[in-house]
C-alpha cells in the first residue's frame, strides 16, 4: 500500500480501513461482512453498497497504486458491482416470476425473491436466515450510480444495465410488501428506511438508464411514507404504525437521491429524536430502543454514519466528535467492531449471542467503510 504520493498524511485508521476492506474482498468480487464471524462470511448487497461507495470516494483522493494504472479502490468497486450484477442477472427467471405474480396480484413467493446476502460464488445461505430484504438492491443501484459518475463510465456496460433494469422492475413490483428491515428483523412490517433505500435506488437508476421511468413509483413511495410512515410527533417512523425511530432512518438523507434533503425539517426532527433516544454518549448509536442483539450495544458504524450526516448539514465539529468515538473503539490493530458493549440496552442478552455466534463482529467492513466516507466528508474542514 503506497502513501508516498498522498498530498497529506492519512491517519493510521484510514490506511487500516482501506487494508481491511481490500483484504476481505473475495475472488468473485463480494466482500465478507466480517472475516472473524462465520455467520458473516457472506457478502450483503447493503454492506457492499456502502463499502463500494467508500472506495469510490477514497479512490478520488488517495489512489492506491494498481497494476493497470487504475485506483486499486476503483478496481475493487468494479469487481463488487460486477458481482452484484451477476447475482441479480443469474436470478432473472425467478425475479421475472415475482414481477409477473405481482402484476397479477398474486402473493409473493419467497423462493423467487433476492436474498440479502450470498456467498462469493453465489450460493445462498442456510434457509433459517431472514433473507427477504428490499433495501439492499436499492442501495446497490445508488452506489453503482455514484461509481459510474465518479469514474465517468459511459456507456453503461450492458451487463450492469440489464441488472439495473431487472432490479428496478423487481423493486417496483414488490416495494409495498412487508419484508425484514436492514437489521433482519420485523418481517411482517413495512420499514421506512427500506422504502427510502428503494427510493434512492430508483432515482439513481433513472440517472444510470434514462430510458427507465421510475418517477411514478418514486412519487408513490413518497406519498405512502407521508401518509403512513410518520410518528404522531411528525418524525419518520421506524416502520408503518410504530411510534419509534431507528438509526437506519439516516438512510433517508443519502446524498443526491435521498428521500429528504439533510436539512429538511422532517429529517432534522427525525435525527433529533434519534439523538434523544439512541445516542450512547462516547460510544456510538443504538439501532433502536428495543434492540437486544448482543445486548443492544452502541453501534460504531451508526456513530460514524451520524457523523457523516452531520457533515451534510455543515456541523463539522459534531462530526469530528462522533468520529473520535469510533476511533477510540478501534483495537490495537485498528480493527473497528460492529458494536461495543459499553452501553448495552439489555446486557442479559449478551452471553446468549456470544454462545450462538461468537464475539461481536470485528473488523466489520461496513464500520470501516463508514469511517472512510466520513473522512472524505471531513477533508479540508479542519477549522470549521
Q: Applying CB under 6 A, does 44 fall inside the site for ligand BGC? A: yes
Cβ-based burial of 178 (10 A; exposed 0-12, middle 13-18, buried ≥19): middle
Helices assigned H by DSSP within the chain: 12-23, 45-61, 72-90, 92-103, 135-150, 158-174, 192-208, 215-228, 265-278, 300-312, 316-328, 350-357, 365-378
Task: By CB under 6 A, tell whether 277 contacts ligand BGC.
Answer: no
Q: Please report whether residue 169 would count as binding ligand BGC according to CB under 6 A.
A: no
Q: Report the SS3 class of residue 210.
A: coil
Measure the CA–CA gap between 221 and 196, rounded to whole angstroms: 8
40 lines the binding site for ligand BGC (CB under 6 A): yes
Cβ-contact 224, 175 below 8 angstroms: no
Q: Is 33 in the site for ligand BGC (CB under 6 A)?
A: yes
8 A C-beta contact, residue 136 and residue 87:
no
Give 40 or 175: the residue with its C-beta nearer to ligand BGC: 40
The one catalytic residue among 120, 131, 181, 246: 181
Residue 316 interacts with ligand BGC (CB under 6 A): yes or no: no
Nearest to 346 by CA among 278, 310, 296: 296
Question: How far is it, in rounded angstroms, from Cα 168 to Cα 282?
Answer: 40
Phi and psi (nearest 5°) for 32?
A: -65, 135
Write down the least CB distance from residue 184 to ligand BGC, Å. Answer: 5
DSSP secondary structure code for residue 316 in this structure: H
Name the active-site residue from 75, 184, 185, 277: 184
Active site residue 184: yes
Among this protein's residues, is 213 annotated catalytic? no
Cβ closer to ligand BGC: 31 or 325?
31
Q: How far is the CB of 113 from ligand BGC (least distance, A)?
A: 17
Q: How far apart are CA 292 and CA 59, in angstroms?
A: 37
Task: Give the residues across from 44 on adjacent strands.
Answer: 117
> Is the CB of 115 or the CB of 206 nearer to ligand BGC?
115
SS3 string of 232-281?
A: CCCCECCECCCCCCCHHHHHHHCCCCCCCCCCCHHHHHHHHHHHHHHEEC
Angle between helical axes of 158-174 and 92-103 (0-180°, round to 10): 30
Residue the block writes with cell 472475516: 35
Single residue of 46, 81, 186, 310 touching ligand BGC by CB under 6 A:
46
Residue with the CB atom nearest ligand BGC in the bound state: 33
Near ligand BGC by CB under 6 A: residue from 10, 21, 47, 148: 47
Give the three-class secondary structure for 225: helix
Q: How far is the CB of 185 from ligand BGC (least distance, A)?
A: 8
Query: For residues 343-372, which are near ligand BGC according to CB under 6 A?
Result: 364, 366
Site mask for ligand BGC (CB under 6 A), range 177-216, x = bound:
-----xxx--------------------------------
Is residue 14 within the footprint of ligand BGC (CB under 6 A)?
no
* Other Cβ atoms closer than 10 A to 111: 10
Q: Are 78 and 59 in contact (CB under 8 A)?
A: no
Q: Give how many residues touch ligand BGC by CB under 6 A.
A: 10
185 is catalytic: no
Measured from the CB atom, the residue of 32 and 230 that comes closer to ligand BGC is: 32
Binding residues for ligand BGC (CB under 6 A) = 33, 40, 44, 46-47, 182-184, 364, 366
Catalytic residues: 181, 184, 338
Amino acid at each position: 500500500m503506497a502513501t508516498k504520493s498522498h498530498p497529506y498524511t492519512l491517519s493510521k485508521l484510514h490506511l487500516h480501513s482501506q487494508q481491511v476492506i481490500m483484504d476481505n474482498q473475495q475472488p468473485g468480487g463480494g466482500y465478507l461482512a466480517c472475516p472473524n464471524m462465520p455467520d458473516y462470511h457472506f457478502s450483503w448487497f447493503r454492506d457492499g453498497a456502502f463499502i463500494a461507495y467508500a472506495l469510490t470516494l477514497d479512490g478520488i483522493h488517495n489512489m492506491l497504486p494498481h497494476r493497470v494504472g487504475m485506483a486499486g479502490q476503483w478496481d475493487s468497486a468494479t469487481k463488487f458491482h460486477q458481482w452484484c450484477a451477476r447475482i441479480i442477472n443469474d436470478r432473472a427467471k425467478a425475479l421475472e416470476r415475482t414481477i409477473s405474480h405481482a402484476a397479477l396480484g398474486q402473493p409473493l413467493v419467497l423462493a423467487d425473491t433476492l436474498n440479502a446476502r450470498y456467498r462469493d460464488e453465489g450460493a445462498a445461505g442456510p434457509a433459517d436466515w431472514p433473507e427477504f430484504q428490499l433495501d439492499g438492491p436499492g442501495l446497490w443501484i445508488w452506489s453503482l450510480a455514484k461509481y459510474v459518475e465518479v469514474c465517468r463510465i459511459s456507456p453503461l456496460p450492458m451487463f450492469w444495465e440489464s441488472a439495473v433494469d431487472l432490479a428496478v422492475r423487481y423493486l417496483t413490483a414488490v416495494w409495498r410488501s412487508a419484508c425484514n428491515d436492514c437489521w433482519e428483523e420485523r418481517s411482517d412490517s413495512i420499514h421506512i428506511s427500506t422504502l427510502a433505500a428503494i427510493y434512492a435506488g430508483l432515482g439513481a437508476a433513472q440517472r444510470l438508464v434514462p430510458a427507465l421511468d421510475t418517477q411514478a413509483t418514486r412519487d408513490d413511495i413518497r406519498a405512502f411514507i407521508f401518509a403512513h410512515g410518520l410518528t404522531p410527533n411528525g418524525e419518520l417512523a421506524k416502520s408503518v404504525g410504530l411510534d419509534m425511530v431507528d438509526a437506519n432512518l439516516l438512510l433517508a438523507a443519502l446524498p443526491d437521491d435521498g428521500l429528504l434533503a439533510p436539512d429538511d425539517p422532517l429529517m432534522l426532527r427525525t435525527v433529533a429524536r434519534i439523538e434523544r433516544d439512541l445516542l450512547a454518549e462516547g460510544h456510538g448509536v443504538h439501532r433502536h430502543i428495543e434492540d437486544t442483539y448482543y445486548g443492544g450495544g452502541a453501534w460504531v458504524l451508526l456513530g460514524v454514519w451520524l457523523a457523516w450526516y452531520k457533515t451534510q448539514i455543515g456541523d463539522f465539529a459534531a462530526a469530528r466528535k462522533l468520529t473520535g468515538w469510533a476511533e477510540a473503539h478501534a483495537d490495537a490493530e485498528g480493527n473497528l467492531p460492529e458494536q461495543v458493549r459499553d452501553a448495552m440496552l439489555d446486557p442479559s442478552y449478551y452471553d446468549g449471542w456470544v454462545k450462538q455466534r461468537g464475539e461481536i463482529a470485528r473488523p466489520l467492513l461496513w464500520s470501516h467503510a463508514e469511517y472512510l466516507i466520513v473522512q472524505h466528508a471531513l477533508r479540508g474542514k479542519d477549522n470549521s
